[in-house]
Amino acid sequence: MSKAIARTGKLRALGAMSGTSLDGVDLAVIETDGENIHGFGPAAYHPYESAEREILRAGLGHWHGEEVLAATQVVEDVHLRALRQNAALCDGIDLAGVHGQTLAHAPRQNGTLQVGDGARLAEELQIPVVWDFRSDDVAMGGEGAPLAPFFHFACAKYISAGAPLCFLNLGGVGNVTYVDPRFERPEEPGALLAFDTGPANAPVNDLMTARQGKPMDEGGAVAMSGTVETGALELFLAEPYFSRMPPKSLDRNDFSEMINLVRELSDSDAAATLTAMCAAAVAQGMQHCPEAPARVLVTGGGRRNPVLMEMLKVSLDCPVMPVEEVGLDGDMLEAQAFAYLAVRVARGMPTSCPGTTGVSACVGGGIVSLPNAQ
């Protein structure tokens, strides 16, 4: 039987993240007391196999049924396989934070659904597991997303930022966190503003899968040779979502009809147009920032797309750079976030607030599962 989770001091936490891009599971270790980041540990990536990715894709948008059961099995099995194949990451771990896989997200209607049973993982791995991070936030009127902002605040402190800045995560869906590091705590009013900007890599990934049998536009190579269809871009920006005030969040499939806007275009023009839609959505969203950020730090797979990064640099009025330029890991920031949040949940600290999800009051969501019913 493993020891109880210490209530004070530094903990060594493992985070596991499977995002909306459906590419694989990120694993990352950090040391934190739930407020400050004391250090970053090792990290690893475990890709989904193509058949597993298709099972997950088939489960998207479903709340129950065979598709959900099949996707749940894949998520749990792949997480266990990833952790066993990277057993060294678990050495000295006090607890793990497991995001699971979001299959459906409609906070104002059915709620939110992340599959992956943390209790099973805790028993199999024999370490405490924190999971189901979003449900409590939604139950209290929040969007349940994004959840990384409290970690972004800690990152801003870690890099000694002195002026407001933004963390822009470009995964399947894009989300931005405006951080004012002049505040002491993330839950203070004005310290954070966060929301989903719009679709990011998901539409391009879906296009490439459907037309070329590839999971993504690697390095923006297809979009680079294309021309943006401005009419389609204007129709996209007319969507009511962009005029809504934040906080606000999206499901991966909320903009699935974007494919219809580029259906008649060549592969390269379609990829260029969908990429431009992502950048334009970010530019629209940045107008909600309380104060102009000094810089935008980009994380997630989108930062590796030079076409997208150039579009962002042209459309935003401040320096845009990958988070690596300030010493952070853009591949693992989300996994690190859930390691950080796991410690906060275990210690009864808030993980979201009105400025990040629109929740009515600060809330610390999540279930803590202990091995052997400890």
Confidence of residue 1 (pLDDT cuts 50, 70, 90): very low
Sorted by where each starts, the structural domains of the chain and their CATH numbers stand as: 11-145+332-373 (3.30.420.40), 160-326 (3.30.420.40)
For residues 231 and 277, what is the distance between their CA atoms, to the nearest angstrom?
A: 11
Q: Quickly list DSSP for 19-75.
A: -TT-SEEEEEEEEE-SSSEEEEEEEEEEEPPHHHHHHHHHHTT-SSSHHHHHHHHHH
- Rounded to an integer, the average pLDDT of 225-239 is 97
Per-residue CA distances from 322 to 20, 43, 335 (Å): 20, 18, 17
pTM over 0.85: yes
| Mean pLDDT, the chain, integer | 94
Q: Model confidence over 238-262: pLDDT tens digits? A: 999 999 999 898 878 788 888 899 9
pLDDT at 254: 84
Q: Model confidence over 62-120: pLDDT tens digits? A: 999 999 999 999 999 999 999 999 999 989 999 999 999 999 988 888 889 999 999 99
- Rounded to an integer, the average pLDDT of 132-159 is 95
- Rounded to an integer, the average pLDDT of 334-356 is 97
Take residue 124 and report the two structure tokens written for it: 């199999």
Q: Model confidence over 163-185: pLDDT tens digits? A: 999 999 998 899 999 999 999 99
Confidence of residue 3 (pLDDT cuts 50, 70, 90): low
Q: Quickly list DSSP for 139-181.
A: HTT------THHHHHHHHHHTT--S-EEEEEESSEEEEEEE-T
Look up residue 14 and give its DSSP letter: E
Residues 114/134, Cβ–Cβ less than 8 Å: yes
